[in-house]
Structure 1
């Protein structure tokens, strides 16, 4: 009986979920309108490739040219001849290494700026000067220091993923209502406990916003860095295919980059929801 009741409950929940999804308004917003947008983009691509350019492939031609990459993304045929899945993993490894190192540095600095006026006066000018610097401008310095492409790429990701997290963390910490701090002081809560129990939970939405921006910047930067440093990665793949005038492969790489960025942002949103227990508006 218990098993039968459980099965009925799961079936009922699934039925309710499908009925909710198939409501006209939800189906329109989640399926029809996005599909219309993608169809319009593909139609525009087809028109430009057919009537305005002799080099650009049509969508069907690009699909045919890239079918081997799509059907077998993890092939290995020798040194440098790898499927696009391996190239994507190599780029993701660099991005996440630099991004995690940057986050470990940026969040404490943001807390320091947000809780100390003297730290804000000392560090904020440095942040404002270095923040607008182009990510690629850091690459020659990294190559001079590390003399290797891989650690140089990770360093560029690290340095460019700092600023958004630092600024948003500082804003979140400084925006914690004073009443929260006053209550903690009345309860004679130690300073470290105030940071952990009061300030951190209240500033988490700001911190995650900074992390999402920083991760997006890191994913943008890695393509440009890999184009300049070479090696294995999705950025170098684009440059190599351009040298071969294989524009079909470049379109595939653009699609992979966009979908990967979308998935990474979605995962970070889910992590934020799990940590803060609050819904997050996706933009």
Structure 2
């Protein structure tokens, strides 16, 4: 792929490292950012679903943006989650993230309220129009209760700041059609489906698994980009047990932290309620043991 999208291709949906008493751990944030950069990530999403967005304050998301941007020193794009089911809150969050130095905004559709398509378009338009920072829409109906239709995405694609979509619907056929019809940069947001989405033309990934194995998610993108689907399948075969182990028991925010703590990248797997701390699933422990054994 000759032209890189404006917000990168290899994006990690970063967890928010915390101390056992629930405070954000800046030293662990810095260690995790170093780990993601060493693994080749060119984008880091803070304050998204995996970052426990509903439990973070606007000030905390701003502080995360500043900390990650300072640590990356321009080596990766910093994208801030700003979605909520209150439009005025999302607008304020977008402005705060832009002020903090975010390179992009991740805007999930409003949850719980289940608005009409007109309401979804007006909400997203209002938030996307409040700054000049590029916006990635986030379509995840299993969490929000509503999905963006092709017609709505086509309307939103006309907005100058809307550049792409994180697609977490899990419907590959619809995803291919929407990418073709809207022209938006299409990112896979379901780790178990990374390979088929990339092979079908997704520009990149916004990945939970990249927290744990960024070098492998990067190799997957590179192999598909080179047209070497055989090599891509080999990488995918390595990644798939990890993806299933992290995402199928879930929630990914807790299991990814458990895996990172087990691997020594962060010092604690602590999360904030309503999530509770999890042990690394057995499949993930086996994967980590195999990857770190002398014969691996």
The two structures share one fold, judged by TM-score above 0.5 = no
User: Greater CA radius of gyration, 1 or 2?
Assistant: 1
Short-chain TM bin = under 0.3
TM-score when scaled to structure 1?
0.26
TM-score when scaled to structure 2?
0.25
Q: Whose helix fraction is larger, Structure 1's or Structure 2's?
A: 1
